[in-house]
Structure 1
Amino acid sequence: MEGWIVLGLILIVITYFFGRIGFAVEEDKERSEYAKTNAAIDKAIDAEDSKTRNLLIKTLMKMGCRSEENKETGRIRFIYQGEYFSIDAEDESPFITVWDTYWARVSLENLDINKLKDAINETNISMRPTIFYSIEKEESEVCLHCKYTMPFIIGIPDINNYLQANLNNFFIAHECLKVEFKNLGEKDVQQNIKGRTIIKGFNIK
């Protein structure tokens, strides 16, 4: 009789032992599946954040610039240092194009277009943003614009300062053009181009 009792106890212990092993295996399996799910979610989030448009919007937000999408052009618009900028950003491309349009208007009355072209050409030699102009015949004005295409990917170190530095280059180009006008003797035109200074920090409207 005692032998049967001992045998029964042994069987209970064995059953409990293997039951615990099975439970541990299932628990490890659940943890593994949970970890895989979390990793998949993190990977998906990282992939979304890495997309050019999302990365740009997130970067502008960190810079303190509120942005909005132009429904007609799809460009992302925002204000930096009191200036309106627009950016073309496509998820399929690692490059963005920054636009600073209509940053100055100059009357055509006393303007020598050839001198304007010369001043713009001289400025574009040394500046990253490209300056160009359009003519508004009804208003009899020349409108000045800038654009710059640059890489914009998740791997760029300190991407906030990278974008800020490139935006500041637009203001430097403005000032450089004013200097070129002055060198060409176009003092009246130089005075009509609105003055800009590079301000530390951000000015949001």
Structure 2
Amino acid sequence: MNNISDITILVAVLALALWPAIIVYLSWRREKKIISCLKNETPATKTPKLSTEELIVSTLKKMGCNPEKNEEGNIGFMYQGDDFYLSFQEDVPFVMIWYPWWGTINADNPVLPYLKEVINAVNISSFITTVFMAENEGDKEIGIHSHCHTFFTEDGLEPEEHLKLILDSFFDTRNAIKENIDKLGSAISEEDEGTKKERVIVKGFSAYKENSKPIENKQMEEEKKK
């Protein structure tokens, strides 16, 4: 009888020792089964991400702009009365924003060498890059353009806030260049309201040339005519 009692006690001790492990194992299996059922039965609620083009168009519309896609696949739009266009590649989270033909200057203008120095100085301290180029080789009229390469996704900074911040920075850069030219004795000629034409998006920079503003000093123009 003693042997039987000893065996019974031993079995009881082993059972008590193993019971916590058995409970943990059963609980783990039950939780795993519940999670598996939830994955199979609950539909995904995460909103699919927009494509680069969809995000651009959606953001511009929220800002009150009217985006239009041109022949080259770029998206043109007006912001605060000025023309911009945005180039992109699908599935690539980087975009290039252009502020084309925001100003012009004649190739013979004596201010041109100073303008180059001003633009170089502003480019060093700004994430907006300004360049100037003629539409065709040999043209007397030189266009001034600014551009910016930026990361643009739904993650991080709100897309609408992000884009507005950059577009406003273009105006800051433009104004900084104009103010520096003014300090050198030049003034910005106001655009003749009677010569404005209807905005049409066509291929290349030419689409925006008609809205450019000359950076000319009226006094210099009169002196050149003498």
Kept in 2: contact 1:106–1:192 (CA 8 A): no
Kept in 2: contact 1:123–1:180 (CA 8 A): no
2:48 matches 1:46? yes
Structure 2 CA distance for aligned equivalents of residues 178 and 123 of structure 1: 11
Specify the SS of the correspondent of 1:46. coil
- Greater percentage in helix: 1
Match of 2:116 in 1: 117
Kept in 1: contact 2:105–2:112 (CA 8 A): no
Q: How many residue pairs are counted as aligned between the two chains?
A: 152
Give unpaired runs (5+ residues) of structure 1.
Answer: 1-28, 195-205
> Normalising to structure 2: TM-score of the pair?
0.60
Match of 1:104 in 2: 103
Structure 2 CA distance for aligned equivalents of residues 62 and 156 of structure 1: 18
Structure 1 CA distance for aligned equivalents of residues 151 and 59 of structure 2: 14
Structure 2 CA distance for aligned equivalents of residues 193 and 158 of structure 1: 36
Quote the sequence identity (%): 28
- Cα RMSD (Å) of the superposition? 2.3
Structure 2 CA distance for aligned equivalents of residues 103 and 193 of structure 1: 12
Kept in 2: contact 1:68–1:77 (CA 8 A): yes
The residue type paired with residue 160 of structure 1 is E
Kept in 1: contact 2:76–2:84 (CA 8 A): yes
The residue type paired with residue 163 of structure 1 is L
Give unpaired runs (5+ residues) of structure 2.
Answer: 1-36, 192-226
Structure 2 CA distance for aligned equivalents of residues 193 and 168 of structure 1: 21
Match of 2:214 in 1: none
Match of 1:157 in 2: 157
Match of 1:65 in 2: 65
The residue type paired with residue 110 of structure 1 is N
CA offset at residue 135 of structure 1? Answer: 2.4
| 1:165-187 Cα shifts (integer Å, max 9, x gaps) | 1100011111100122233x251
> Normalising to structure 1: TM-score of the pair?
0.66
2:87 matches 1:85? no
Larger radius of gyration: 2
Q: Runs of at least 4 residues of structure 1 off by over 4 A?
A: 136-139
Structure 2 CA distance for aligned equivalents of residues 56 and 140 of structure 1: 36
| 1:65-108 Cα shifts (integer Å, max 9, x gaps) | 1101112x211111100011100121221111100111111223
Structure 1 CA distance for aligned equivalents of residues 123 and 190 of structure 2: 17
Aligned in 2, Cα 1:148/1:193: closer, same or farther, shift over 3 Å? farther
The residue type paired with residue 117 of structure 1 is K
